A and B are shown apart, each in its own frame.
Chain A
Amino acid sequence: MEKETCRGAFSEKILEEAKKDKDIVVVCTDSRGSASLGSYPTELPEQFVEMGIAEQNAVTVSAGMASMGKKVYAIGPASFYSMRSAEQVKVDMAYSHNNVKIVGISGGLSYGALGATHHSLQDIALMRAIPGMIVEIPSDANQMRGLVEEMLKIDTPAYIRTGRGAVPVIYEKETKVEIGKAVKWYEGKDAAIIACGQLVWRALEAAKALEEEGIHVRVYDMHTIKPLDQEAVLEAAKECGCILTLEEHSEYGGLGGSVAEVVSENQAVPMKILGIPDEDVPNGTDSEVFAYYHMDVPGIAEQVKKLIARKAY
């Protein structure tokens, strides 16, 4: 499987776009290396701002620039941008309607053994509760490219979270992304998996494995957590009769919570929210942690079967 990092795709795309639009500004927090910004700071120094290790100030200063017409992309670790800067996001970006896009890199469990300080497993819950915020978790590099293109067309504040490592490429190069619209994979009706980020390709693999056992599963790539594609959720509930959500996030308040809000109010069906439980996460790589919590390909398949068993009752 061909693999590519989403952060690399973002940086490549934003450099290309920034060369055409001098109002695009990239803001860093001592993170140009980890963001894979490459030649951007040297090629476009006038469109680059280094804020040092100060995410709160980076968001506020970005908002100030945005209020003067700049299109600001603040890029740095998702854990610090989402949690530490939550108030700046709420006040200076969202409530103030400033066109700042946060690109939270090394999101979720990407930092692995660096531990809880560096994991961002509460960011969806935080960001989606803030009025007016768009929350996006692209699932591969090409989706990230398409997403940047769409983000440049709107002046809504947004939080885009991406992982650190290379992930399998599942979309074609020029794939168009529609913000707020899930991508449906397969037509199975035994169960629906709604996933985001680097769990999408795992969900697709699990669906393929289940297909071999005669279990027909469909997968929705819910790259936009907010505004949530409610139509897709209801379609999944009605046509499949059960939903498993899959996310690199606390099982509280994230994608699963978002889906459950829609399902419980409109079309109650059995659900399984598969995420990180409310406990200290063992040290290890993201893949090792996924396996530990039954979120690897075999684990997902096993959980889908358990969910289907609950359907009839």
Chain B
Amino acid sequence: MKLTQEHKKQLMLQAADVRTKTVELIYNGKGGHIGGDLSEADILVSVFDYMKHDPQNPDWTQRDHFILSKGHAAEAYYIVLSEYGYVSQEELDQFGTFGAKLGGHPNKKIKGVEANTGSLGHGLGLAAGMALALKKNGKDNRVFVLTGDGELAEGSNWEAAMAASKFHLNHLTWIIDRNHLQISGDTEDVMPLENLKEKTEAFGFKTLVIDGHNYDEIFEALDTVEEKTPVCIIANTTKGKGLACAENQAGWHHKVPTKEQVEAMETAMKQYREELR
């Protein structure tokens, strides 16, 4: 799907909002995986705009499905879900308090959430199972799953990748938020993933490498469906994107910003939005 300038601008404005609200949510809730929230924001905004879903009817059988395998990056997901009305302001306000519906990892009790995630290396297999069941039922609903990159050290991803390929799950799209960082540092120091494109291709995927902050590239990639093979999108991103002090800093994997840092970001995002308009 070719994006119009107007559509693209609207998505970029929405993403700026999502980033700001995510940081505010983490600040108010006193905790969150801020780095990965901000790297995935443009992907989430795009997928929710792109896929078929109906907030008034979350169980709509014609809907596409989305699984956040990197469940720790839940805050940006909650904000995107709230943008569509799946999550209420009241639920967001309770984030970080005892008994809150929105926990540190997403759960199907939350409207719009399709899988309980948090333990890494589960999302791709779940998505493969969903796509397989859809295929057996003769349906062509799409299934999108977003994994992290550090997460890919879990061997279960590669078991799932083999299966997705074996069963020709061509309506499955595996998006990798390739921000190159995990809690201890660079992914290539912790457990090297490269050459990731070749690896995913060797596992039978049609792999596209894109800029995960570029809406034209994201939408073109989301539009890619092969006849028999599943698609993998390696989305190169910046961890902490939009929060200047956190960008590309492993130390910001899970960290609460100060009041000043939040205000600085709010100012920067406001200015960014004005420039966009």
Binding site for B on A (CB under 8 A): 25, 46-47, 49, 51-52, 54, 56-57, 60-70, 87-88, 91-92, 95-97
Instruction: For residue A72, give the distance in angstroms from its CB to the closest CB of chain B.
Output: 8
Residues of B within 8 A of A88 (CB): 122, 156
Instruction: Kindly report which residue of chain B lies nearest to residue A70, judged by CB atoms.
Output: B133
Residues of A within 8 A of B131 (CB): 64
Residues of B within 8 A of A60 (CB): 122, 125-126, 128-129, 156, 160
Closest CB pairs A-B (n = 5): A64-B129, A60-B125, A57-B159, A68-B133, A61-B129
Chain B interface category by residue count: 20 to 34
Residues of A within 8 A of B125 (CB): 56-57, 60-61, 63-64, 92
Binding site for A on B (CB under 8 A): 108, 114-116, 118-119, 122, 125-134, 136-137, 156, 159-160, 162-163, 167
Instruction: For residue B74, give the distance in angstroms from its CB to the closest CB of chain A.
Output: 15
Q: Which of B118, B126, B136, B162 contacts A63 (CB 8 A)?
A: B126
Residues of B within 8 A of A47 (CB): 136
CA distance A69 to B163 in the complex (A): 20
CA distance A66 to B132 in the complex (A): 11
Instruction: Kindly report which residue of chain B lies nearest to residue A57, judged by CB atoms.
Output: B159
Residues of A within 8 A of B114 (CB): 67
Q: Which of A25, A52, A95 contacts B116 (CB 8 A)?
A: A95
- Residue contacts A-B, CB under 8 angstroms, 25 given: A49-B132, A49-B167, A52-B163, A54-B162, A60-B125, A60-B129, A60-B156, A60-B160, A61-B129, A61-B132, A64-B125, A64-B128, A64-B131, A65-B129, A65-B132, A66-B129, A67-B114, A67-B115, A67-B126, A67-B133, A68-B133, A68-B134, A91-B122, A95-B116, A96-B108
Are A65 and B133 within 8 A (Cβ)?
A: yes
Instruction: Kindly report which residue of chain A lies nearest to residue B116, judged by CB atoms.
Output: A96
Secondary structure of the A contact surface, majority rule: helix
Are B160 and A92 within 8 A (Cβ)?
A: no
Are B126 and A64 within 8 A (Cβ)?
A: yes
Are B156 and A56 within 8 A (Cβ)?
A: yes
CA distance A88 to B130 in the complex (A): 16
Q: Give how many A-B residue pairs fall within 8 Å (CB-CB).
A: 83
CA distance A67 to B113 in the complex (A): 12
CA distance A87 to B116 in the complex (A): 13
CA distance A51 to B127 in the complex (A): 15
CA distance A87 to B155 in the complex (A): 13
Are A46 and B116 within 8 A (Cβ)?
A: no
Are B162 and A52 within 8 A (Cβ)?
A: yes
Are B136 and A46 within 8 A (Cβ)?
A: yes
Residues of A within 8 A of B108 (CB): 96-97
Residues of A within 8 A of B136 (CB): 25, 46-47, 65, 70
Are A96 and B115 within 8 A (Cβ)?
A: yes
Residues of B within 8 A of A61 (CB): 125-126, 128-129, 132, 160, 163
Residues of A within 8 A of B116 (CB): 91-92, 95-96
Instruction: For residue A76, give the distance in angstroms from its CB to the closest CB of chain B.
Output: 14
Query: Interface centre among A61, A63, A64, A87, by most B CB within 10 Å?
Result: A64
Are A64 and B127 within 8 A (Cβ)?
A: yes
Are A91 and B119 within 8 A (Cβ)?
A: yes
Are B126 and A57 within 8 A (Cβ)?
A: no
CA distance A91 to B125 in the complex (A): 12
